[in-house]
């Protein structure tokens, strides 16, 4: 892992966030932060730990479904490390998945191809409810906010794109030929911009795709595993929205659950774009802007965003980094070799 690049990109995100605070007014934001009811903040933290526990249970269900032995506490530690890497690398929330697969492979003795299938299946179970809720959220924004015609057309276009994307993701999961062709296309694009020989990585990626498809088909045969994982994924996303709602309550602001859900899902989508680590700066900006458009004072929307991100981003990242030495910090470099 290029630590200098990660630190540099994090710094860019932090600078963007600081610039927004300076624009709004540090004094106003600080005054707003001082009004927070710590009981609600503590409740939001508890909700975050419940979310992480459910994430671990969901992953454990998938791991068990593929007959891989594991222990709950080490698996939880692997999840935290993976979440931290997702947050700290500009990888569209996917940089931590190979790390989780590698750690699980070393812990259980199962092959990397099989453990990688567990984390990709876990990711798929998260993607389906997210895209479903995001489509609903954008429809909600169209009918509740006084948006310009351009914004409405843009949101409608995004909704259509989401529906197509969801269908494509589901199709590629089960069509081996299309999966291989998609991997080959991705590497053709990468080869245009990189001088490094990626042949080895392309071969391993195709192998991982086949392994994922095989494992997913096996999981789909077990309806209990499928529905348990999917239900937990929906509950997790609802709890994520509830956490933001509770943070708003901490500041005594009554914002509709639908509006909070819409803004949270939209900002999460922005955070998935592999530009800055965890979307820092971009996610915060979207949340502050749209909440302000919904009538929330900018100082309050900024304070809410800062507290919410402190819990969901910085706290989770910190916990993952604290756990990382248990596995050895060199594991991040070993994953590159394993892939």
Token pair in block for residue 290: 């749209």
Q: What is the pLDDT, as a whole number, of residue 86?
A: 79
Please enumerate in sequence order all residues whose Cβ is within 8 A of that of 206, keeping only pairs 6 or more positions apart, or say none: 180, 183, 184
What is the spatial distance between Cα 287 and Cα 255, in angstroms, rounded to a whole number? 13
Q: What is the pLDDT, as a whole number, of residue 338?
A: 44
Q: What is the pLDDT, as a whole number, of residue 57?
A: 95
Q: Three-state secondary structure along the chain?
A: CCHHHHHHHHHHHHHHHHHHHHHHCHHHHHHHHHCCCHHHHHHHHHHHHHHHHHHHHHHHHHHHHCCCCCCHHHHHHHHHHHHHHHHHCCCCCCCCHHHHHHHHHHHHCCCHHHHHHHHHHHHHHHHHHHHHHHHHHHHHHHHHCCCCHHHHHHHHHHHHHHHHHHHHHHHHHHCHHHHHHHHHHHHHHHHHHCCCCCHHHHHHHHHHHHHHHHHHHHHHHCHHHHHHHHHHHHHHHHHHHHHHHHHHHHCCCCCCHHHHHHHHHHHHHHHCCECEHHHCCHHHHHHHHHHHHCCCCHHHHHHHHHHHHHHHHHHHHHHHHHHHHHHCCCHHHHHHHHC
Q: What is the pLDDT, as a whole number, of residue 291?
A: 81
Q: What is the pLDDT along the chain (339 residues), one digit of tens a residue?
A: 555 555 655 666 667 667 777 767 788 788 878 888 999 999 999 999 999 999 999 999 999 988 898 888 999 999 999 888 877 765 445 567 778 888 898 888 888 778 888 888 888 888 888 888 888 877 887 787 776 777 778 777 777 777 787 777 777 777 777 878 877 777 776 666 555 666 766 777 777 777 767 777 777 777 788 889 999 999 999 999 999 999 999 998 888 888 888 888 877 776 666 555 555 656 777 778 778 777 788 888 888 888 998 898 889 989 998 988 888 766 665 554 444
What is the spatial distance between Cα 241 and Cα 271, in angstroms, rounded to a whole number? 15
Q: What is the pLDDT, as a whole number, of residue 88?
A: 75
Q: What is the pLDDT, as a whole number, of residue 337?
A: 40
For residues 31 and 240, the answer to whether their CB atoms sit within 8 Å is no
Q: Is the pTM for the entire model greater than 0.75?
A: yes
Q: What is the pLDDT, as a whole number, of residue 60?
A: 94
């Amino acid at each position: 892992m290029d630590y200098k690049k990660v630190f540099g990109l994090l710094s860019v995100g932090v600078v963007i966030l600081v610039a927004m605070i300076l624009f709004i007014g540090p004094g106003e934001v600080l005054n707003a932060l001082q009004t927070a009811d710590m009981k609600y903040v503590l409740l939001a933290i508890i909700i975050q730990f419940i979310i992480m526990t459910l994430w671990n249970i969901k992953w454990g269900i998938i791991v068990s479904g593929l007959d891989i032995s594991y222990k709950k506490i080490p698996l939880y530690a692997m999840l935290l490390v993976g979440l931290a890497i997702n947050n700290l690398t500009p990888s569209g929330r996917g940089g931590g998945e190979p790390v989780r697969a590698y750690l699980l492979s070393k812990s259980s003795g199962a092959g990397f191809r099989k453990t990688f299938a567990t984390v990709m299946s876990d990711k798929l179970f998260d993607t389906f409810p997210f895209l479903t809720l995001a489509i609903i959220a954008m429809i909600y924004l169209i009918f509740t906010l006084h948006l310009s015609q351009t914004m409405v057309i843009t949101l409608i276009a995004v909704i259509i794109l989401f529906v197509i994307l969801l269908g494509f993701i589901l199709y590629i999961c089960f069509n081996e030929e299309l999966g291989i062709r998609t991997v080959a296309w991705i590497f053709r694009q990468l080869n245009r911009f990189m001088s490094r020989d990626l042949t080895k990585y392309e071969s391993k990626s195709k192998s991982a795709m086949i392994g994922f498809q095989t494992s997913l088909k096996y999981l789909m045969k077990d309806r209990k595993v499928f529905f348990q994982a999917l239900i937990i994924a929906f509950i997790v996303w609802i709890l994520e929205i509830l956490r933001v709602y509770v943070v708003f309550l901490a500041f005594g602001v009554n914002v509709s659950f639908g509006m909070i859900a819409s803004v949270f899902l939209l900002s999460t989508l922005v955070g998935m774009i592999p530009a800055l680590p965890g979307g820092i700066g971009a996610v915060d900006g979207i949340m502050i802007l749209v909440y302000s458009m919904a009538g929330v004072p900018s100082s309050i929307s900024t304070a809410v965003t800062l507290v919410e991100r402190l819990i969901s981003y910085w706290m989770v990242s910190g916990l993952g980094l604290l756990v990382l030495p248990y596995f050895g910090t060199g594991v991040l470099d070993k994953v590159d070799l394993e892939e």
